């Protein structure tokens, strides 16, 4: 099983640490350094089994390679997963993060990291105590770029406009019915942007405080998480964890398009074909959610400004998606296949960045 998992991954190197004091497993999956130093977030989570954590790290690292390669950015793909044991004591978090920082530093620049599911800019401040200068998105007080979520949300908004431009010949999001699945770091930043565009927003979420905020204080329509995928809408935006689109859920969808921030939205590659044969336009996840990665590298490695990041995101996400949708239509292939080709062209050095 490990054999097949590692072979299918096709990555460059995998660093494994067993953090004895806490019992956590640490996986740093460096998928590719072909285009430049590898970068990707650090995810902290509990998993049912160690192989689930490893599988997550491997798949997400490959997604990062594609995320940087598709726009032609000079970085490679990686991801780290810290799997917490069931009996993890929260008081041990700070020391765990500091030990993790030492492991990142030991890679001497082969791996740059930042926040992901389960980690925050405040965590990056702690990791940077031992892992500097390879840690991005520390808090602004500590001199970092802070939370990348709003940039990712801005990229998703741009992606939704491109979806409407392709589907309806008009990129306005006014009156479009949009279902935001998950109102966390990115979904929660996306909702106000959509409301400002005049969209009809519905959201689903599992966290009670977040539900209370958006439903009761902001007045956004709410559906329980279990009903979200079946809501009739123009665009479904998966903004929670991955793997939401598969042979069970795709037949239930009642949307014209899917465009959201979650990584690895498709259960398997065949699910892209399932969406296509249902006539649902799929905006490939690593293109539509690339705003965070683009902003992080621009602000922290390329000396850019927040305005520059927004310009780069708006230009790239729109251009890439329209090209992907056109290629898919012209050649009768899935948008996922068209996006993969675009990324592979850059990886093969066939197109100048
Ligand atoms: C993602 O987009 O999924 C990321 O992991 C973003 C990122 C990019 C570069 C460093 C850290 C996180």
pLDDT in tens, 129-167: 999 999 999 999 999 999 999 999 999 999 999 999 999
Ligand 1 binding pocket mutation candidate from 186, 296, 309 (most atoms within 8 A of CB): 296
CB atoms within 10 A of CB 230: 16
pLDDT in tens, 313-323: 999 999 999 99
Q: Closest ligand 1 atom to the C-alpha of 152?
A: 2
Separation of CA 41 and ligand 1 centre (Å): 4
Q: What is the dihedral of CA 114, 115, 121, 122, to 10 degrees?
A: -100
Separation of CA 295 and ligand 1 centre (Å): 9
- Closest residue to atom 9 of ligand 1, CA basis: 40
* Res. 229: pLDDT tops 60: yes
Average pLDDT, the chain: 96
Structure tokens at 137: 């998105």
Ligand 1 pocket check for 114: Cβ under 6 Å = yes
* Res. 29: pLDDT tops 70: yes
Ligand 1 pocket check for 263: Cβ under 6 Å = yes
Ligand 1 pocket check for 136: Cβ under 6 Å = yes
Separation of CA 296 and ligand 1 centre (Å): 7
Give the residue-averaged pLDDT of 41-65: 96
Q: How confident is the model at residue 351 (pLDDT cuts 50, 70, 90)?
A: low
Separation of CA 186 and ligand 1 centre (Å): 13
* Res. 264: pLDDT tops 70: yes
Structure tokens at 16: 């494994």
Ligand 1 pocket check for 264: Cβ under 6 Å = no
Residue 36 — left, alpha, or beta (φ > 0 → left; ψ -120 to 50 → alpha)?
Answer: left
User: Is residue 138 within 8 Å of residue 124, measured between CB atoms?
Assistant: yes
Ligand 1 binding pocket mutation candidate from 28, 62, 114 (most atoms within 8 A of CB): 114
pLDDT in tens, 103-121: 999 999 999 999 999 999 9
Structure tokens at 115: 């926040």
What integer pLDDT is reported at residue 241 of this predicted model?
A: 84
Ligand 1 pocket check for 113: Cβ under 6 Å = yes
Looking only at the bridges linking them, the beta strands covering 254-258 and 13-19 are unpaired
Ligand 1 pocket check for 41: Cβ under 6 Å = yes
């Amino acid at each position: 099983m490990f054999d097949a998992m590692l072979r299918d991954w096709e990555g460059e190197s995998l660093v494994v640490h067993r953090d004895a004091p806490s019992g956590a497993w640490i996986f740093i999956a460096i998928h590719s350094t072909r285009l430049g130093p590898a970068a990707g977030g650090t995810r902290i989570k509990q998993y049912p089994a160690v192989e689930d954590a490893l599988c997550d790290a491997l798949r997400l690292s490959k997604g990062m390679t594609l995320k940087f390669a598709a726009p032609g950015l000079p970085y490679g793909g990686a991801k780290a997963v810290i799997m917490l044991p069931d009996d993890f004591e929260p008081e041990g978090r700070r020391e765990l993060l500091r030990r993790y920082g030492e492991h990142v530093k030991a890679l001497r620049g082969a791996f740059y990291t930042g926040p992901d599911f389960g980690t925050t800019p405040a965590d990056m401040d702690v990791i940077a105590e031992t892992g500097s200068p390879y840690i991005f998105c520390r808090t602004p007080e500590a001199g970092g770029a802070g939370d990348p979520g709003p940039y990712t949300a801005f990229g998703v908004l741009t992606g939704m406009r491109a979806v409407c431009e392709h589907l309806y010949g008009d990129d306005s999001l006014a009156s479009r019915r949009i279902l935001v699945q998950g109102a966390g770091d990115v979904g929660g930043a996306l909702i106000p942007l959509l409301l400002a565009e005049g969209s009809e927003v519905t959201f689903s979420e599992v966290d009670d405080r977040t539900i209370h905020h958006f439903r009761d204080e902001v007045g956004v329509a709410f559906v329980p998480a279990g009903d979200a995928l079946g809501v009739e809408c123009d665009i479904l935006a998966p903004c929670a964890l991955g793997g939401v689109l598969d042979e069970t859920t795709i037949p239930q969808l009642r949307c014209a398009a899917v465009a959201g921030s979650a990584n690895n939205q498709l259960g398997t590659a065949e699910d892209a074909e399932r969406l296509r044969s249902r006539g649902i336009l799929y905006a490939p996840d690593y293109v539509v959610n690339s705003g965070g990665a683009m902003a992080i590298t621009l602000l922290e490695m390329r000396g850019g400004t927040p305005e520059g990041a927004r310009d780069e995101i708006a230009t790239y996400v729109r251009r890439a998606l329209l090209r992907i949708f056109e290629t898919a239509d012209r050649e009768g292939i899935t948008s996922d296949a068209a996006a993969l080709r675009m990324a592979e062209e850059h990886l093969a050095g066939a197109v100048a960045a």
